Amino acid sequence: MSSAPSAASTAPSTVELSAAPDRATAAERAEQLFVESFGYAPDGVWSAPGRVNIIGEHVDYQDGLCLPMAISHRCFAAAARTPTDRLRVRSAQSGTTLDIDARELTPETVSGWPAYVAGVLWALGPRISGASTRGMDIMIDGQVPLGAGLSSSAALECAAAEAIEALLTLGTGPLDRVRAAITAETDFAGASTGGLDQSASVLAREGHALLLDCRDFSTRAVPWDLASQGLALLITDTRAEHSHVDGEYTARRADSERAARTLGLATLRDADPDRLESLLARIDDEVVRRRAHHVITEIGRVEEVDALLAAGSVRSQVAEIGALLNASHDSLREDYEVTVPQLDVAVDAARAAGAHGARMTGGGFGGSTIALVEAEQAQRVAEAIAAAFAEHGFDAPEFFLALPSEGAGQDR
């Protein structure tokens, strides 16, 4: 990959680091939008955040460990129960609406973004008593940037799950809602993802990262309060076209499953990292071998970051954590092959501009990168990335500062 150009000449003079809108104001807006659209007041407003994954990429579907955090951008759902069986869903961001008999939901009946809402009601269907109506009106106001790899669809599903639970009193716990959101995505919307995004959106805690064990979806909050330590996580939305993303994602999953089968393991989580070389030697296919190398070493890197954070603060361990973020990206670039030039250029430029570590985050093939930086240098690093993009002739990226935020819940 080309090395980052110096932050000199082409840096646009006004690189903006945007923050999410204030949560209380945004919730009030969602309520207002509901009133304007449906003509009466909602029963409440619920919301769920987008996420970045700090480390542990492309391991969730191999029962691995991930370390995501929720970001401050959220999806809001203002909603009311109605004495009918109609599910009506509208959104401030899209002209597409849904108006359907909620008793007749099947994966074939709904397409586009409303499937992520309807799918949750469908997934929770077995919990709804036959005698009760399941009609509701929902107004969605999504503020997680779309197509940026920050899990706007998981935020939508999880906001819907909170609203549906509150309106129908189904007795679900947070993990049930995570599972309903995953089912909505995989079985209703038809995107075969691994559960990282929904877990982060529901279970994340403010000021913390979430250590997620995808074997059983158990979690532990890990202190990750960057702001109080003079650090920041800079998100760069590369705005690279996601081309062939679904097919490539499915192909990577298939490669990793093949690796596990070859090794006689249920998943690569069961691989003993101390026997890495001898295990890899048993995989003839060179590509599949590299895929396994990524998954097994990436799970090890999450364990290392967790151990570092148990032994000290992010500040005291920042060099080691940064090196692990860098190693994660390099593995995703070389072994897993899910990066695109924009992701690599953003990462290289951030490192050259002094980031402690930088990597792509999420599924790859476009989307966003994260850089762990000194808070006072965030602007400078962003400008260096913008300059590198201009020099490569890429579309201008967008920048956000990510604060570790609270998972899904009720706002009003």
Per CB under 6 A, does 362 bind ligand GLA? yes
DSSP assignment string, 305-339: HHHHHHHS-TTTTHHHHHHHHHHHHHHHHHTS---
Closest CA to 139 of 77, 86, 84, 80: 77
197 catalytic? Reply is: yes
Shortest distance (Å) from residue 286 CB to ligand GLA: 22
- According to CB under 6 A, which one of 143, 183, 193, 342 is a site residue for ligand GLA? 193
Per CB under 6 A, does 255 bind ligand GLA? no
Residue 370, C-beta contacts closer than 8 angstroms, at least 6 positions apart: 52, 54, 233, 234, 235, 236, 325, 358, 359, 361, 402
User: Of 31-60, which residues contact ligand GLA (CB under 6 A)?
Assistant: 53, 57-58, 60
Shortest distance (Å) from residue 64 CB to ligand GLA: 9
Catalytic residue selected from 60, 137, 197, 237: 197
* Residues facing 44 on adjacent strands: 79
Shortest distance (Å) from residue 181 CB to ligand GLA: 11
Per CB under 6 A, does 197 bind ligand GLA? yes
Per CB under 6 A, does 322 bind ligand GLA? no
Task: Report how many residues bind ligand GLA under the rule CB under 6 A.
Answer: 12
How far, in Å, are 12, 269, 354, 365, 378 from residue 16 at the CA level? Answer: 10, 40, 19, 24, 11
User: Of 60-119, which residues contact ligand GLA (CB under 6 A)?
Assistant: 60-61
CB closer to ligand GLA, 134 vs 359: 359
Shortest distance (Å) from residue 362 CB to ligand GLA: 4
- Residue 170: helix, strand or coil by DSSP? coil
CB closer to ligand GLA, 212 vs 346: 212
Shortest distance (Å) from residue 234 CB to ligand GLA: 19
Phi, psi angle pair for 225, to nearest 5°: -90, 85
Which pairs from 270-277 meet CB under 8 Å and 24+ separation? 270/63, 271/296, 273/297, 273/299, 273/300
What letter does residue 269 receive in the DSSP assignment?
Answer: G
- CA quadruple 299, 219, 142, 389: dihedral sign: negative
Per-position x/- string for 331-350, each x denoting binding to ligand GLA as judged by CB under 6 A, each - no binding = --------------------
Per CB under 6 A, does 142 bind ligand GLA? no
CB closer to ligand GLA, 150 vs 385: 150
> Which residues in this chain contact ligand GLA in the complex, by CB under 6 A?
53, 57-58, 60-61, 193-197, 362-363
Q: Could you list the active site residues?
A: 197
